[in-house]
Amino acid sequence: MIDQNHIAALTGILGDKGIVTAEADMAAYQTGARYDAGRAAIVLRPQTTEEVSAAVVYCVKNGIALIPQSGNTGLVSGSTPDTTGAQAVISLDRMTQRFDLDRDNRSLHADAGFRLSDVNRKLEKHGLFFPIDLGADPRLGGMLATNTGGSRFLKYGDVRRNTLGIKVVLADEEGTILDLTSGLRKNNTGIDWKQVFIGTSGSFGIITECVLNLEPLPKQVATAYLVPASGAHVMPLLRAMEDRLGAYLSAFEGISKNAVSAALDHVPSLKNPFQGGNVPDYVILAEISRTWVPREGEQSLDAVLESVLAEIWEGDDATLADAFVGPAHEMWSLRHALSEGVKHSGKLIAFDLSFRRGDIMAFCDRMKADMPQAFPEVTICDFGHIGDGGVHFNLVVPKDSASASDKAFEQRLRDWVFAIAVSDFNGSFSAEHAIGRKNQAYYDLYTQQKIKDMAKGLKAITSPGELGAVRFG
Amino acid sequence: MIDQNHIAALTGILGDKGIVTAEADMAAYQTGARYDAGRAAIVLRPQTTEEVSAAVVYCVKNGIALIPQSGNTGLVSGSTPDTTGAQAVISLDRMTQRFDLDRDNRSLHADAGFRLSDVNRKLEKHGLFFPIDLGADPRLGGMLATNTGGSRFLKYGDVRRNTLGIKVVLADEEGTILDLTSGLRKNNTGIDWKQVFIGTSGSFGIITECVLNLEPLPKQVATAYLVPASGAHVMPLLRAMEDRLGAYLSAFEGISKNAVSAALDHVPSLKNPFQGGNVPDYVILAEISRTWVPREGEQSLDAVLESVLAEIWEGDDATLADAFVGPAHEMWSLRHALSEGVKHSGKLIAFDLSFRRGDIMAFCDRMKADMPQAFPEVTICDFGHIGDGGVHFNLVVPKDSASASDKAFEQRLRDWVFAIAVSDFNGSFSAEHAIGRKNQAYYDLYTQQKIKDMAKGLKAITSPGELGAVRFG
C-alpha cells in the first residue's frame, strides 16, 4: 500500500503538482469512459519523460503497480485502476510541452499528453493533420497504446501505420528510457521495437513522446449515401468503388436500419435524409476526398463522385438500389449520431469486432438469424467501418427488461457473440479498442498458448515491473 | 558437420527433390546477388510449411545452423551461408503452391516462394497489385524478411505496411508454426507478433506464407522531370507537390548529375532527355497516378500534372528552374538505368542510407564538401527516394586506382560515411536492404546496448536455434 513515506518520496520526485491524493481530485482518474470505476492509491502526473522514468524507478523498487492513463477515453477499462485501491495511476495529462513540427519530414514530434483535437487544431494552419478520425478525443499516448483506428482507416490506416517513432519508459529498476524517435520513414536496422508498444495497452512500457506521420489536409470532400441492392451487394459495391477511386476513397461506412432509426428517434436535431422518410435496410456512407481545389472548367469532386456512381449504376452488376450525393456535413452528422442514438434506445451491450471484409455481412446475417431464438429480447443495431472490416456490433436490450440489469445475461450474450465471431468467423474480439480488464478474459480464452508464453517472455524482457491493466501471458 | 546420416534423415523428411548436396547444384544457393560467396553444407528445399517445420526440428535437435534463403536478390549477404561449410541453406524456392486471392478483402494469401513479378502478373487480370516497386525480383518471404521499400514507398509504404499476416516457423525443438494469417485489417488483441519477423532477416523465424494487402492498379500515370532551382529548393518543391497532390503523388525520386551521366555513358540505349544535352546538377523524377481513366471532356492526368507544375512555377517560392512532362516509360528508363550505369563507371561502393527528409540534401552537401579531402579518388553518384528519405549513396573509385582493390580502403571509407550518416545526421545505415553479414558490424556498433540485450532476449523466446545470417544481441 501507499503510505505517507511513499507520498513524500514521490512528491520529492514529481513536485506538489505532480501528485494527487485527495479522493475528490482522483475521481476523474478512477472512472472509465463507459465502464466501471476503480480506486487509485495515488495519481502521478509527471511532466517530462525523465520524471516518468524517475517515478517508475521508485514504484518498481517499491512494488507499486502502475496503470498508465492518457485521455481515459477508452472503452475496455485499460486506463483505470482496479478496485483494490493498491494501484497508482500515472497520468500523461501534464505532458504537453514538446510540439515540434518538421515540415520537410511531414512529421510531428510531440509529448504524449496532447489531445488529438489540439494536435489537429495546431496543425491546421500548416495544411496538415494526423489522419486518425475518431468519435472520442483521446491523448496521443493512449492512441498509440491502443492503436486506434476510426472512420478514415480505409485511406490512411491506423495509428501504427502513422507512427514514425516513440519514446517509451520501461518498468524496470532503471526506468529505462528507450529513445526510438529518429523519425525515419525508411529504416531496417533490426527489430522495429516501437511495434511492441503500439496497441498493447501500456503493459510493456509507457509511451511518453511520439513522432507522427502527418498528411496533407483534404481540400475537397464529396459524400454520398448508397443503398445496396441487398446485403450480398455490399462487397461488390465496395470493390467497384475501390477499383475506380483508389486512394480517393476515404470512407465506406455501413449502417443498419436499426442504427439509423435509433439515431433518428433519439437525436432530435437530425433530419431523415431518405426519400419519403423510408430508412433502407442497410445504407453505405461513402466519402471521397482530395487535396486540391479544381481550377475553373475542371470537374468538381461531387461531379467525380456522381460520374463514378453513374458508371456503377449503369454497369451489369446491379449493386445499387439507390444513391444520392449530398453535403458532407449533413451526411456525416447522421453517422456521428449513431452511438448516441443506440445508447439511448435501451441498455447497450457493445462489441468492437472485425472480420475479413467479405465475412462482415455473413456474420451479421448469421446474428440476425440466430439472435431471435438465442436472445429474443436483443435488438441488433450494427454499424461499422466496412472498408476495413470493423463492425460496431451494438446490441440493445429494453431498459425495462429483467435482462437489462442481469450481469449473468450480459456475460452469456458476450460469450455467445464472441464464440461465433472469433471461432466460427475467424474475426477479432477487439478491432480498435485494444485490450483492457473488460476483455482480458477473451484474450486469455482466444489466444494460443505459445503466443501467451511469448508475450510473457517479452514482458520480462521489457517491463518486468507491474505495469498496465492487461496481463499478458 | 553434415554427414551421410543427416543427409539420409533430411531426405526422409523432404524427399529427394527437397535436398541438394552436389557442389555444382548448390552454387546458386551459395552466392549472393552482389557480394561474396559462402559454402553450404546442404541445401534444403521444402515445399510446405509443415516440411519447413519438420526440417527445422531435425536441424535444431542436431545443432545444424540454418540460413533461410528466398529469392537471394539481397545486397547485404543475409541469405547465403558463411564460408565455414557448416551451415545449411533452407530455400523457399519450391514453396509456390498456395495462391488464394480474396477479392472482397483485397488480399492475397500466398506461399512465400512466389516471385514479386509472378505475383503481380497473376493479379493483373483482377486489376490489383502488390504495390512494392523494386529493381530486383525477390521472392515474397525475403521481401518480408527484409521489409523492402522501393520507388513507390511515398504512396504505398513498405512491405510492413502491406502485410496483413504471416505464417512463420520458429527454430525451436518443436519447429513451432505460428499461424498469424487471419488477414484482418483491423485487430488489436495483443502484440502484433508479425512485426517481429518483418525486416529481421529471418533470424527470428522462417516466414513460409503471407497475407498481403493489394491495391487497385493505377490506370493512368503521368511523369515529369523537375529541375530544382538549387539543392535547397528540393524540399520546398516536395512540399509543394505533396500539399497539392496528396495521395496522387506516387514517386519523387532525386538523381544527381553524376548518376545521370554514368547511366548515359554506360547504357547506350538511353536518350539524353535534357535540352541541349545539358544534364542539370540535380533532377527530380515525379510521378502521379490514379485508378481511373477520365471520361470525355475531363482533364487528362498529364494536364493535372501540368496545371500543378504551372501553379508552383507561378508561385512566390521560385523552387523550379525547369520542368517538363513526358512519357512515363521513357522517364523511368533513365531512373532504372542508374544502378547499371553506376556499376560500370568504376569500382562501386554502395550505401543504402536514409534520413529525415529535410536532412538528405544537407548530408549530400556535407559529403561533396568533405570527400575531395578525405577520399580524393571517390566520385559521388547519389540518387534516391527523396520522398521517403532514402538515398542510394553510391561511391565510385576508378577501376585502375590502387584503392579499387584495397579492402582496407573500402573499410575506412565505409566507416567514415556511416559515422557521418548515423552519428552526425541521425540517419540509418540500412534504409531498405536490412541487415546481413555485410553490415552486421554496423548493427553492433550503432545499436544501443539495451536494444541489443532485448533483441537477444527476443531471440531466446522465439527461435533459440541457430537461424539466420544475422546475430542479434
Q: Do A200 and B185 touch (CB under 8 A)?
A: no
Q: Does B205 touch chain A (CB under 8 A)?
A: no
Confidence at B34, pLDDT banded by 50, 70, 90 = confident
Q: Does A239 touch chain B (CB under 8 A)?
A: yes
Q: How many CA atoms lie within 13 A of B377 on its CB side?
A: 17
Q: Does B138 touch chain A (CB under 8 A)?
A: no
Q: Do A146 and B188 touch (CB under 8 A)?
A: yes
Residue of B242, B291, B356 lying closest to A245 (CB–CB): B291
> Measuring CA to CA, which residue among A397, A471, A468, A353 is closest to residue A56?
A468
* Residue B199 structural domain: 99-216
The verdict on A227 and A311 lying in the same domain is yes
Q: Is B248 in contact with B290 (CB distance < 8 Å)? A: yes
Q: How many CB atoms lie within 10 A of CB A104?
A: 18
d(CA B94, CA B111): 9
> Measuring CA to CA, which residue among B139, B312, B151, B113 is closest to residue B226?
B312
Q: Do A102 and B161 touch (CB under 8 A)?
A: no
Q: Is B187 in contact with A447 (CB distance < 8 Å)? A: no
Q: Does residue B449 fall inside a structural domain?
A: no
> Which one-letter DSSP state was computed for residue B94?
T
What is the predicted pLDDT for the residue at A32? 87
The verdict on A249 and A323 lying in the same domain is yes
Q: Does residue A469 fall inside a structural domain?
A: no
Q: Does residue A36 fall inside a structural domain?
A: yes
Q: Does B472 touch chain A (CB under 8 A)?
A: yes
3-state secondary structure of A221: strand
Q: Does B102 touch chain A (CB under 8 A)?
A: yes
Residue of A161, A199, A458 lying closest to B458 (CB–CB): A458
* Residues 6 or more apart in contact with residue A167 via CB below 8 angstroms: A49, A177, A178, A179, A180, A181, A207, A208, A209, A210
Q: Do B428 and A460 touch (CB under 8 A)?
A: no
Q: Does residue A468 fall inside a structural domain?
A: no
For the domain that residue A153 is a member of, what is the CATH number? 3.30.465.10
Q: Does B244 touch chain A (CB under 8 A)?
A: yes
Q: Does A103 touch chain B (CB under 8 A)?
A: yes
Q: Is B354 in contact with B428 (CB distance < 8 Å)? A: yes
Q: Do B432 and A357 touch (CB under 8 A)?
A: no
Residue of A104, A190, A356 lying closest to B102 (CB–CB): A356
Q: Do B428 and A184 touch (CB under 8 A)?
A: yes
The verdict on B208 and B252 lying in the same domain is no
Q: Does residue A210 fall inside a structural domain?
A: yes
Q: Does residue A58 fall inside a structural domain?
A: yes
Q: Does residue A445 fall inside a structural domain?
A: no
Bin A147: left if φ > 0, else alpha if -120 < ψ < 50, else beta.
left
Q: Do B435 and A190 touch (CB under 8 A)?
A: yes
Give me the residues of B, 380-409, that contact A with CB < 8 A. 385, 388-390
Question: What are the cell numbers at A120?
Answer: 489537429
Over 90: is that where the pLDDT of B274 sits?
Answer: yes
Question: Which of A31-40, B247-256, B448-457 has the weakest average pLDDT?
Answer: A31-40
Residues from chain B that touch A195, judged by Cβ atoms under 8 A, are 192, 195-196
d(CA B358, CA A105): 6
Question: What are the cell numbers at B34?
Answer: 552482389
The verdict on B235 and B192 lying in the same domain is no
Residues from chain A that touch B238, judged by Cβ atoms under 8 A, are 104
Q: Do B430 and A458 touch (CB under 8 A)?
A: no
3-state secondary structure of A184: coil
The verdict on A199 and A135 lying in the same domain is yes
Percent of residues, chain B, with pLDDT higher than 90: 94
> Measuring CA to CA, which residue among B308, B115, B217, B186 is closest to residue A154?
B186
The verdict on B249 and B177 lying in the same domain is no
For chains A and B, count residue pairs whose Cβ atoms are closer than 8 Å: 256
Residue of B147, B246, B458 lying closest to A188 (CB–CB): B147
Chain B: residue whose CA lies nearest to A436: B189
What is the predicted pLDDT for the residue at B300? 87
Over 90: is that where the pLDDT of B341 sits?
Answer: yes
Domain boundary among A194, A216, A238: A216
Over 80: is that where the pLDDT of B391 sits?
Answer: yes
The verdict on B185 and B272 lying in the same domain is no
Q: Does B175 touch chain A (CB under 8 A)?
A: no
Question: What are the cell numbers at B265?
Answer: 555513358
Domain boundary among A32, A57, A91: A91
Q: Does A446 touch chain B (CB under 8 A)?
A: yes
Pairing, β B87-91 against β B40-44: parallel
A159-194 burial, b at 16+ Cβ within 10 Å, e below that, comes to bbbbbbbbbbbbbbeebbbbebbbbbbbbbbbbbbb
Percent of residues, chain B, with pLDDT higher than 70: 100
The residue ranges of chain A whose pLDDT is under 70 are 35
B174-183 average pLDDT score: 97
Q: Does residue B473 fall inside a structural domain?
A: no
For the domain that residue B275 is a member of, what is the CATH number? 3.30.70.2190
Q: Pick from B160, B164, B185 the residue to mutate for testing the A interface (most A CBs within 10 Å).
A: B185
| ipTM for this model | 0.97
Q: Do B388 and A186 touch (CB under 8 A)?
A: yes
The verdict on A75 and A107 lying in the same domain is no
Residue with cell 449533413: A330
The verdict on B301 and B238 lying in the same domain is yes
The verdict on B309 and B354 lying in the same domain is no
Cα A418 vs. chain centroid, distance in angstroms?
19
Domain boundary among B295, B319, B339: B339
B218-236 average pLDDT score: 96
A423 CA: distance to closest CA in chain B (Å): 12
- Is the dihedral angle over the CA atoms B417, B419, B425, B426 positive or is it negative? positive
For the domain that residue A380 is a member of, what is the CATH number? 3.30.70.2740
Q: Do A104 and B355 touch (CB under 8 A)?
A: no
What is the predicted pLDDT for the residue at B294? 76
Q: Is B119 in contact with B137 (CB distance < 8 Å)? A: no
Label residue A303 exposed, middle or buried (CB < 10 Å: 0-12, 13-18, 19+).
middle
Q: Do B443 and A189 touch (CB under 8 A)?
A: yes
Q: Does B308 touch chain A (CB under 8 A)?
A: yes
The verdict on B230 and B321 lying in the same domain is yes
**B90-107: per-residue pLDDT in tens?**
999 999 999 999 999 999
Residue with cell 530486383: B136
d(CA B103, CA A235): 9
Question: What are the cell numbers at A281?
Answer: 435496410
For the domain that residue A71 is a member of, what is the CATH number? 3.30.43.10
Residues from chain B that touch A250, judged by Cβ atoms under 8 A, are none
Q: Does B127 touch chain A (CB under 8 A)?
A: yes
**A349-390: per-residue pLDDT in tens?**
999 999 999 999 999 999 999 999 999 999 999 999 999 999
* Residues 6 or more apart in contact with residue A413 via CB below 8 angstroms: A349, A375, A378, A395
Q: Pick from A109, A128, A162, A189 the residue to mutate for testing the B interface (most B CBs within 10 Å).
A: A189
Name the H helices within B375-439: 407-418
Q: Does A299 touch chain B (CB under 8 A)?
A: yes
Confidence at B1, pLDDT banded by 50, 70, 90 = confident
What is the tally of structural domains in chain B?
Answer: 4
The verdict on A226 and A321 lying in the same domain is yes
Pairing, β B66-69 against β B87-91: parallel
